[in-house]
Amino acid sequence: MSKKRVNIIGAGLAGSEAAYQLLKRGYSVRLYEMRPQKMTPAHVSSSFAELVCSNSMRSNSITNAVGLLKEEMRHLDSLIMSAADHSSIPAGSALAVDRETFSQRVMETLQQFPDLEVTNDEVTDIFDEPSIYATGPLTSDALADAYSTLPGLAKLHFFDAIAPIIAYDSIDHSKVYRKSRYDKGDSSDYINCPMTKEEFNKFYRELIGAKTTELRGFEDQKVFEGCMPFEVMAKRGAKTLLFGPMKPVGLEMPDGKKPYAVVQLRQDNAAGSLYNIVGFQTHLTWPEQKRIIQMIPGLENARIERYGVMHRNTYLTSPNFLNKFYQSVQLPHLFFAGQLCGVEGYVESAASGLYAALNMDRFLSNQPPLDFTKETMMGAMAHYVSGANPQNFQPMNANYGLLDNSQLEKEERAKRSLEIIDSYGN
């Protein structure tokens, strides 16, 4: 008897996680990934689970919502979390990874399964067989149009921006110092570029007047708050930066003095040869990026290895279309996962792929859906995606406000969540 086959469209974080969960449960998986035959505006490789915007997966503490989500995934044998832990690099209390090592680990793990078939064709229609669509925010135009034909579904979008990456050997180390905020983690995890008030004011004036790249062919210029371009943030006022990505709190200099503002650099690869500028996602023109970055003390001769870019981020009106298991209400053989559904963030995307795969398994096995409930972060996110008001539906990061047990302290909520996850096994 031949094994049941599931199509998975998209080999990003959600698609790779879903593929792993189904393959280890004995399914045959046909994984569609259009790269490298057709690239997106933001990807630079054909690797599975390429991390496009940042190399950080945010906090590791379970008292932080995304930290709890990561721990739930670890308890469910998540491929993405295993690969992230394997490829982690210093980042204080956060989990950051070497991008290449991370993607390589994901690919190598999946390729060990003989029942995985990978095809690099672009999918432009909807399959009439069990399928998980996880094409992400950079879904091709043809497939996005196909989504719009599904019952009750429309496609929406906002914009994401990506931060620049610079070469470590181009930093003037006589002007910078290493320190994690409040000394969380290893004190050497971040490089800090301090500014005086005069340096900041000059930098700010030049930043808000800098030329940006024109966005063409889009209906509007709606920006997602979580990935707001640095220059857009700056135009809300200088204090937006001083209380945001350039806040000096907890970053005293070695002599004990407090800088007026600080630009932080975070290690981006295991070799330590690349650093990204924390919170500096941007859509300034490339010449302006270079000019503005080189105004930062210590970065006067910075060599930019990857410039920041801005791209459209497409998502669906999931509350009109999906149930709380990431399953189409009217077409139950179809599941959807990842940022396409309206979850926001690397970890959230992978978690939705994991949950969708577990419920695809239940669907194909004629078992009741797996309901993690709103007492778990994974379940609460699925409830949000399926139950929010479709009239003003916006992508959402994991947060403790989504959980049902809000009367409990965070430690107790986390404990309860993991008990529920563990009761299902993996």
Maximum mean pLDDT: which of 65-74, 183-192, 340-349: 65-74
> Does the pLDDT of residue 170 top 60, yes or no?
yes
Indicate whether this model's pTM tops 0.95: no
> Does the pLDDT of residue 220 top 50, yes or no?
no
Domains defined along the chain, listed by start:
5-159+315-422 (3.50.50.60), 165-308 (2.40.30)
377-402 tens-digit pLDDT? 999 999 999 998 887 777 888 988 88
What pLDDT does 22 receive? 98
What pLDDT does 81 receive? 98
SS3 track for 275-294:
EEECCCCECECHHHHHHHHC
Contact present, 97 and 51 (Cβ < 8 Å): yes
